[in-house]
Protein backbone atom coordinates (compact mmCIF):
# COMPACT_ATOMS: atom_id res chain seq x y z
CA UNK A 1 0.00 0.00 0.00
CA UNK A 2 3.05 2.27 0.13
CA UNK A 3 2.55 3.35 -3.48
CA UNK A 4 -1.09 4.20 -2.86
CA UNK A 5 -0.16 6.22 0.24
CA UNK A 6 2.35 8.13 -1.85
CA UNK A 7 -0.25 8.77 -4.57
CA UNK A 8 -2.74 9.99 -1.96
CA UNK A 9 -0.12 12.33 -0.49
CA UNK A 10 0.54 13.79 -3.93
CA UNK A 11 -3.18 14.32 -4.62
CA UNK A 12 -3.61 16.13 -1.29
CA UNK A 13 -0.59 18.36 -1.90
CA UNK A 14 -1.74 19.15 -5.43
CA UNK A 15 -5.13 20.34 -4.19
CA UNK A 16 -3.47 22.27 -1.35
CA UNK A 17 -1.04 24.06 -3.67
CA UNK A 18 -3.52 24.54 -6.53
CA UNK A 19 -6.94 24.80 -4.89
CA UNK A 20 -9.79 24.38 -7.35
CA UNK A 21 -12.62 26.91 -7.58
CA UNK A 22 -10.97 29.38 -5.24
CA UNK A 23 -12.63 32.80 -5.21
CA UNK A 24 -16.01 34.36 -4.57
CA UNK A 25 -19.32 34.33 -6.40
CA UNK A 26 -21.23 37.31 -7.72
CA UNK A 27 -24.98 37.31 -8.07
CA UNK A 28 -27.35 35.28 -5.91
CA UNK A 29 -25.66 32.76 -3.64
CA UNK A 30 -25.47 31.60 -0.04
CA UNK A 31 -22.32 32.07 2.02
CA UNK A 32 -21.15 30.02 4.97
CA UNK A 33 -18.02 30.09 7.09
CA UNK A 34 -16.39 27.68 9.49
CA UNK A 35 -13.36 27.43 11.72
CA UNK A 36 -11.51 24.52 13.28
CA UNK A 37 -10.00 26.02 16.44
CA UNK A 38 -7.96 22.92 17.28
CA UNK A 39 -5.81 23.49 14.18
CA UNK A 40 -6.51 27.11 13.26
CA UNK A 41 -8.14 26.22 9.95
CA UNK A 42 -10.60 28.60 8.32
CA UNK A 43 -12.93 27.82 5.44
CA UNK A 44 -15.67 29.71 3.63
CA UNK A 45 -17.94 28.75 0.81
CA UNK A 46 -20.12 30.52 -1.74
CA UNK A 47 -22.79 28.28 -3.19
CA UNK A 48 -25.32 28.90 -5.93
CA UNK A 49 -28.24 26.52 -6.16
CA UNK A 50 -30.68 26.80 -9.05
CA UNK A 51 -33.61 24.42 -9.52
CA UNK A 52 -32.10 22.08 -6.93
CA UNK A 53 -28.71 21.88 -8.64
CA UNK A 54 -25.37 23.28 -7.46
CA UNK A 55 -24.62 25.47 -10.47
CA UNK A 56 -21.65 27.34 -9.03
CA UNK A 57 -19.32 27.11 -6.07
CA UNK A 58 -16.35 29.14 -4.86
CA UNK A 59 -14.16 28.57 -1.82
CA UNK A 60 -11.95 30.69 0.43
CA UNK A 61 -9.84 29.74 3.38
CA UNK A 62 -6.50 29.19 4.99
CA UNK A 63 -5.05 26.51 7.15
CA UNK A 64 -3.39 23.14 6.99
CA UNK A 65 -3.04 21.04 3.85
CA UNK A 66 -5.71 18.56 4.98
CA UNK A 67 -8.41 21.18 5.53
CA UNK A 68 -7.71 23.15 2.36
CA UNK A 69 -7.26 20.10 0.13
CA UNK A 70 -10.52 18.67 1.46
CA UNK A 71 -12.28 21.92 0.53
CA UNK A 72 -10.81 21.97 -2.96
CA UNK A 73 -11.80 18.36 -3.62
CA UNK A 74 -15.25 18.98 -2.20
CA UNK A 75 -15.81 22.04 -4.41
CA UNK A 76 -14.95 20.02 -7.50
CA UNK A 77 -17.05 17.07 -6.41
CA UNK A 78 -20.28 18.96 -5.71
CA UNK A 79 -20.37 21.22 -8.78
CA UNK A 80 -23.19 20.29 -11.12
CA UNK A 81 -24.80 17.87 -8.67
CA UNK A 82 -28.37 17.91 -7.43
CA UNK A 83 -28.72 18.67 -3.72
CA UNK A 84 -29.66 15.06 -2.75
CA UNK A 85 -26.54 13.83 -4.58
CA UNK A 86 -24.46 16.36 -2.65
CA UNK A 87 -25.97 15.09 0.61
CA UNK A 88 -25.21 11.52 -0.46
CA UNK A 89 -21.61 12.50 -1.15
CA UNK A 90 -21.42 14.09 2.29
CA UNK A 91 -22.78 10.94 3.93
CA UNK A 92 -20.27 8.75 2.09
CA UNK A 93 -17.40 11.07 3.03
CA UNK A 94 -18.39 10.98 6.70
CA UNK A 95 -18.54 7.17 6.64
CA UNK A 96 -15.15 6.96 4.91
CA UNK A 97 -13.60 9.21 7.56
CA UNK A 98 -15.19 7.34 10.46
CA UNK A 99 -17.10 10.48 11.52
CA UNK A 100 -20.37 8.58 11.20
CA UNK A 101 -20.49 4.96 12.26
CA UNK A 102 -20.90 2.36 9.59
CA UNK A 103 -19.01 0.53 6.90
CA UNK A 104 -16.78 2.61 4.67
CA UNK A 105 -18.35 2.92 1.22
CA UNK A 106 -14.94 2.87 -0.46
CA UNK A 107 -14.02 -0.06 -2.73
CA UNK A 108 -10.41 -0.95 -1.83
CA UNK A 109 -10.00 -2.80 -5.11
CA UNK A 110 -10.97 0.23 -7.20
CA UNK A 111 -9.34 3.32 -5.68
CA UNK A 112 -11.14 6.55 -6.56
CA UNK A 113 -14.22 4.80 -7.93
CA UNK A 114 -16.65 6.04 -5.25
CA UNK A 115 -15.43 9.47 -4.09
CA UNK A 116 -12.74 10.34 -6.63
CA UNK A 117 -9.86 12.46 -5.31
CA UNK A 118 -11.59 12.69 -1.93
CA UNK A 119 -10.54 9.10 -1.27
CA UNK A 120 -7.01 10.41 -0.85
CA UNK A 121 -8.15 11.69 2.56
CA UNK A 122 -9.14 8.30 3.93
CA UNK A 123 -5.74 7.79 5.58
CA UNK A 124 -6.50 10.80 7.78
CA UNK A 125 -8.92 8.70 9.82
CA UNK A 126 -5.86 7.10 11.41
CA UNK A 127 -5.12 10.51 12.98
CA UNK A 128 -8.23 11.48 14.97
CA UNK A 129 -7.01 15.00 15.71
CA UNK A 130 -6.85 15.72 11.97
CA UNK A 131 -10.30 14.40 11.12
CA UNK A 132 -11.76 17.77 12.11
CA UNK A 133 -9.46 19.39 9.54
CA UNK A 134 -10.81 17.18 6.75
CA UNK A 135 -14.39 17.65 7.95
CA UNK A 136 -14.34 21.47 8.22
CA UNK A 137 -15.34 22.15 4.58
CA UNK A 138 -18.17 19.63 4.89
CA UNK A 139 -19.64 21.13 8.06
CA UNK A 140 -19.44 24.49 6.26
CA UNK A 141 -21.20 22.97 3.27
CA UNK A 142 -23.95 21.56 5.50
CA UNK A 143 -24.40 25.07 6.91
CA UNK A 144 -24.64 26.54 3.40
CA UNK A 145 -27.19 23.92 2.33
CA UNK A 146 -29.29 24.69 5.43
CA UNK A 147 -29.18 28.39 4.59
CA UNK A 148 -30.21 27.68 1.00
CA UNK A 149 -33.03 25.48 2.25
CA UNK A 150 -34.21 28.24 4.57
CA UNK A 151 -33.95 30.80 1.76
CA UNK A 152 -31.60 33.06 3.68
- Report the interface residues with Zn ion, using CB under 5 A: 39, 41, 64, 67, 133
CB closer to Zn ion out of 39 and 85? 39
Strand extents, DSSP E, 16-124: 30-36, 41-50, 53-62
Measured from the CB of residue 39, what is the shortest distance to Zn ion in angstroms?
3
Alpha-carbon distances of 24 from 9, 40, 47, 79, 97, rounded to whole Å: 27, 21, 9, 14, 28
Measured from the CB of residue 134, what is the shortest distance to Zn ion in angstroms?
8
CB closer to Zn ion out of 41 and 117? 41
CB closer to Zn ion out of 43 and 76? 43
Measured from the CB of residue 84, what is the shortest distance to Zn ion in angstroms?
29
Asked if 62 and 34 count as a contact pair (C-beta separation under 8 A), the reply is no
Amino acid sequence: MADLDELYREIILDHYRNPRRRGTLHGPHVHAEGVNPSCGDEFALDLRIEDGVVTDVAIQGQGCSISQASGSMMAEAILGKEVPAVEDLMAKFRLMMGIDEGDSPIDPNRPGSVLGDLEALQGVRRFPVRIKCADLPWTTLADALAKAEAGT
